[in-house]
Chains A and B, each alone.
Chain A
Amino acid sequence: MATCTDPSPRSALEALRGDRRRRPRTDLSSAAGLRSILEDGIFSLFGATAPAVPFIIRASSLRQQNLSTDISLSAHARVRGILINHVLRQLSVGATLTDPFDDALRAWRLEVNSGELLDYVDRLTGDDLARLTTDVTAHAVTLSRSLGPMSPRWMVRSAVRATQVLCNGSVILRDVIDLMVGTSVGEFASVALFDVTTSPLGEGAERTMRYHALLQTLRSGVVPLRTSTFSTATGEMWSLDVDNELLTRSAHEVLDTLSNIARNV
Chain B
Amino acid sequence: MSTLSVRRATPHDLNELVRDAPDIVAELTDDHRRSLSARFRAVFASDHRRLDAWSVEQAGRASSGFRWSPATARRLLGNAGLRRVVRDPLCAPTEAVTQEIDDQLLRCASGYARTGSLANWLGGLSGCELALVCAEATNWVVQVLEIAQGLDCEWRVAASDAYYDVARARTTLRARRDLDVPLEHGRVVLRVRSGSPGKSAGPGLRSDLTIDTLANHEGIAARRFIGVWPEAGVALSVDGTMADLRAGARDLVRTAVVQERRRHQKAA
Interface set of A (CB-CB < 8 Å, partner B) = 28, 31, 86, 89-90, 92-95, 97, 102-104, 106-107, 110-111, 151-153, 155-165, 183-185, 218-222
Verify if B135 is at the interface (C-beta below 8 Å from A).
yes
Whether A163 pairs with B129 at a CB distance below 8 angstroms is no
Verify if B216 is at the interface (C-beta below 8 Å from A).
no
Closest Cβ of chain B to A86, distance in Å, is 7
Whether B132 pairs with A185 at a CB distance below 8 angstroms is no
> CA of A92 to CA of B146 in the docked complex: distance in angstroms?
18
> CA of A218 to CA of B146 in the docked complex: distance in angstroms?
16
> CA of A97 to CA of B10 in the docked complex: distance in angstroms?
37
Whether A219 pairs with B196 at a CB distance below 8 angstroms is no
5 sample A-B contacts, Cβ–Cβ < 8 Å, listed by A number: A93-B131, A95-B128, A162-B231, A162-B232, A219-B231
Q: Which residues of B contact A93 (CB under 8 A)?
A: 94, 97-98, 131, 134-135, 138
Using A155-B93, A160-B139, A183-B146 as known contacts, say yes or no to A107 and B131 having CB atoms under 8 A apart.
Answer: yes
> CA of A220 to CA of B145 in the docked complex: distance in angstroms?
14
Using A156-B94, A185-B150, A221-B10 as known contacts, say yes or no to A107 and B233 having CB atoms under 8 A apart.
Answer: no
| A contacts with B: majority SS | mixed
Whether A152 pairs with B93 at a CB distance below 8 angstroms is yes
Using A28-B10, A163-B195, A163-B196 as known contacts, say yes or no to A158 and B131 having CB atoms under 8 A apart.
Answer: no
Verify if B109 is at the interface (C-beta below 8 Å from A).
no
Q: Which residues of A contact B94 (CB under 8 A)?
A: 92-94, 152, 156
Whether B129 pairs with A106 at a CB distance below 8 angstroms is yes
Using A95-B128, A110-B125, A185-B150 as known contacts, say yes or no to A158 and B231 having CB atoms under 8 A apart.
Answer: no
Q: Which residues of B contact A153 (CB under 8 A)?
A: 92
Taking a contact as CB atoms closer than 8 A, the residue among A103, A158, A220, A222 that contacts B135 in the complex is A158
Using A106-B126, A184-B146, A221-B8 as known contacts, say yes or no to A157 and B139 having CB atoms under 8 A apart.
Answer: yes
Looking at A106, A152, A159, the one whose CB has the most chain B CB atoms below 10 A away is A152
List 5 tightest A-B contacts by C-beta distance, closest first: A152-B92, A103-B128, A221-B10, A95-B131, A219-B233
Beta-carbon nearest neighbor of A108 in chain B: B132
Verify if B70 is at the interface (C-beta below 8 Å from A).
yes
Beta-carbon nearest neighbor of B143 in chain A: A157
Q: Which residues of A contact B9 (CB under 8 A)?
A: 220-221
Taking a contact as CB atoms closer than 8 A, the residue among A97, A106, A155, A159 that contacts B142 in the complex is A155
Closest Cβ of chain B to A121, distance in Å, is 16
Whether A28 pairs with B233 at a CB distance below 8 angstroms is no
Q: Which residues of A contact B12 (CB under 8 A)?
A: 28, 221
Whether A86 pairs with B132 at a CB distance below 8 angstroms is yes
Beta-carbon nearest neighbor of B96 in chain A: A152
Whether B128 pairs with A90 at a CB distance below 8 angstroms is yes
Verify if B149 is at the interface (C-beta below 8 Å from A).
yes
Q: Which residues of B contact A221 (CB under 8 A)?
A: 8-12, 233
Whether B139 pairs with A107 at a CB distance below 8 angstroms is no
Q: Which residues of A contact B145 (CB under 8 A)?
A: 155
Using A93-B98, A220-B10 as known contacts, say yes or no to A111 and B139 having CB atoms under 8 A apart.
Answer: no
Closest Cβ of chain B to A178, distance in Å, is 11
Verify if B165 is at the interface (C-beta below 8 Å from A).
no
